[in-house]
A and B are shown apart, each in its own frame.
Chain A
Amino acid sequence: MSMTLIEKILARAAGRAHTRPGDFVVCGVDMTVLLDLQFSQDRLDDVVRVNDPDRVAIVMDHAVPAPSVREAAAGTAARAFAKRHGVSRFFDVGAHGIVHQVLAERGLVRPGQVVACTDSHTCAGGALNAAARGLGPAEIIQILCTGSVWYQVPPTIKYELHGTKSPAVDGKDIFLHIAGRYGDATNHAIEFGGPALADVPMNQRRTVATQGAEVSADFTIFPADDRCVAYVEAHAPGADISPVLPDPDAHYESVRRVDLSEVEPTVGLPGTVINNCVPVGGLRDISVDQCFIGSCANGQLEDIETAAKVLSGRRVAEGVRLIVTPASQQVYLEASKRGYLATLVEAGAVVTNSTCGACFGYHMGVVGPGEVCLTASTRNFKGRMGSPEAQIYMASPATVAASASTGRICDPRELMGEVRA
């Protein structure tokens, strides 16, 4: 029986020959991840025994270094938990980063695996061919204790990528284009494929997979093609890799053809990306107060490189704040060595420590009432980044960097020498 990616991965994890949409399955979980904030909110102290500490990681990301005593106490509890339960994969402040970046760069999410974490953007691991998704804090405690999780296998929507995309078009633009045109995928899995997928680099796939949560998808998965396997081999040398590809005659609820040559730099309008995105050329005279490049979606090395290239020799416009948050210590270090951070600071940007920070309006760049923010991060809900009276637009790192320099939302091709007014 032919299966889509998610059907195949869940079948394997559940020890079954096959699954079909609607089936309930119980799967072993390969990696369960705990985050700093959980140690102040959840009952982790009450956990009697962790089922398998080798399948657990703790990543300090949402509010580090501690902005207040509450988060400081959470850090203390996290350290005690790691010690008590023998969790050796503990990424404390100094070795930290945003969880999905840390998992990818440390080779802790791999093809065919089942990955669970409370952060809703855990679907990022789908770029690495994993059945990764966010689950609630109580359920994560259950998985910690039992090592397994139940899923109802969702029907799959497939996006087939064709055509050649402009170099100015990023994974962010592909995602916003799809979200704007096709809307939500509630209670569905999204799978990517098609001949042009081979041309989409891993960092861009990771942006797309991360944002699957914004269209409410259960899972957002890419096949383990050559690019994916090469990435995993580079980050998890010597690891056993079991790449999963969909069966050629798998049944999809819907197959949607996306011609990448038609994708323009795109902007998500405030509130939601669902049926709410426009090509950047459709927006005129929208002045910005804050620009942000960061998060699990867009704090990758390539995102910071793009921002540095756009801003090299330019200045952030008067009255605009540009905040750049590398997604991990490793990204921060490499961006620093390559001179990207110096370029950004020279341009007038603020480069922050690696943390979830401004993306969820908690610290490091919260926006005020009446402000307009253009963000290359995960989510543009009302109130997401601070005041509910702020407007949050979403775009690629290139569009955000270009807009920071002009002071209004603009097409990055205006600055990158590629026509267009």
Chain B
Amino acid sequence: MTAAVSDLRRCGRAWVFGDEVNTDEMFPGFAMKMSIAEAARHMFNATRPGWPDLVQPGDLVVGGRNFGMGSSRPVPLLFKELGVGGIVAEEFNSLFLRNCVNYGLPALAVAGIREKVAEGQNLCMDLPNASVENTTTGEKLYGGAFPEFILEIIAGGGVLAKLENDGLLQKASSEG
């Protein structure tokens, strides 16, 4: 395991969301006309207005079943823009989870997590061990571990960074 992979541990305050949170809630269609920085200010505008002003850098998001159902829009970039450190959910939509991996946002599916976390409690998610600990209550749960190659992509900051390193993509000139 590389140093970067063993470093995939994020601790922060939890924001708790429900089941079937969809991509259009997180990244509204009208915000697709905006830059990532601007679009991030509109996350959850329909279902949790004002949340982008409340979330602090390092906070973690906790979701329910089928988290991220919907479109391919790059929602993890908006979470990263707001400083969110990672997402733990009961279950992810696979397109959304792949987006997290490919944009380098730590994400972990852990069944049973939601009833173990109240909003505002502190969590530590540990990707190499596929565990999440509620450090407020001391309870710890385990999810399914990613294979090493996926951990490497997340640790490297996503697939675009890897493509840059492999000489397949020019260094960022127009990100945004």
Contacts and interface: CB of A to CB of B under 8 A. Distances in A.
Of A43, A187, A214, A379, most buried by chain B (CB within 10 Å of CB) is A43
Contacts of B74: 41, 136-138
Q: Which range contains the number of A residues in contact with the other chain?
A: 35 or more
Contacts of A274: 20, 66
A43 B174 contact: yes
A359 B162 CA distance: 34
B160 A186 contact: no
Interface string B60-74: 000001100111101
Given A134-B72, A360-B29, A362-B32, A46 B170 contact: yes
Contact of B94 (A37, A187, A272): A187
Contacts of A382: 24-25, 46-47
B159 interface: yes
Interface string A104-135: 00000000000000111000000000000111
A146 B168 contact: yes
A246 B57 CA distance: 49
A272 B20 contact: yes
Interface in B124-176: 147, 149, 158-160, 162-163, 167-175
B46 A216 contact: no
A136 B147 contact: no
Q: Per DSSP, are chain B's interface residues mostly helix, strand or loop, or mixed?
A: loop
B98 A383 contact: no
A177 to B, nearest CB: 19
A384 B23 CA distance: 10
A120 B99 CA distance: 12
B45 A48 contact: no
A139 interface: yes
B160 A70 contact: no
Contact of B169 (A145, A214, A383): A145
A414 interface: no
Nearest to A385: B29
A37 B93 CA distance: 23
B53 to A, nearest CB: 18
Secondary structure at the A interface, as helix, strand, loop or mixed, is loop
B29 A383 contact: yes
Nearest to A143: B159
A49 B168 CA distance: 7
B66 A186 contact: yes
B168 A381 contact: no
Contacts of A142: 102, 159-160, 162-163
A59 to B, nearest CB: 15
By Cβ-Cβ distance, the 6 closest A-B pairs, closest first, are: A388-B46, A136-B99, A145-B168, A361-B29, A46-B170, A383-B46
Given A381-B24, A388-B46, 14 more contacts: A43-B174, A46-B169, A47-B170, A48-B169, A120-B95, A133-B95, A138-B99, A139-B98, A186-B69, A216-B93, A362-B32, A362-B33, A381-B22, A382-B24
26 contacts: A24-B147, A37-B32, A43-B173, A43-B174, A45-B174, A46-B171, A46-B173, A47-B169, A48-B167, A48-B168, A119-B72, A120-B70, A135-B72, A135-B95, A136-B98, A142-B159, A142-B163, A146-B168, A184-B69, A187-B92, A218-B94, A381-B24, A382-B24, A383-B45, A383-B46, A388-B45
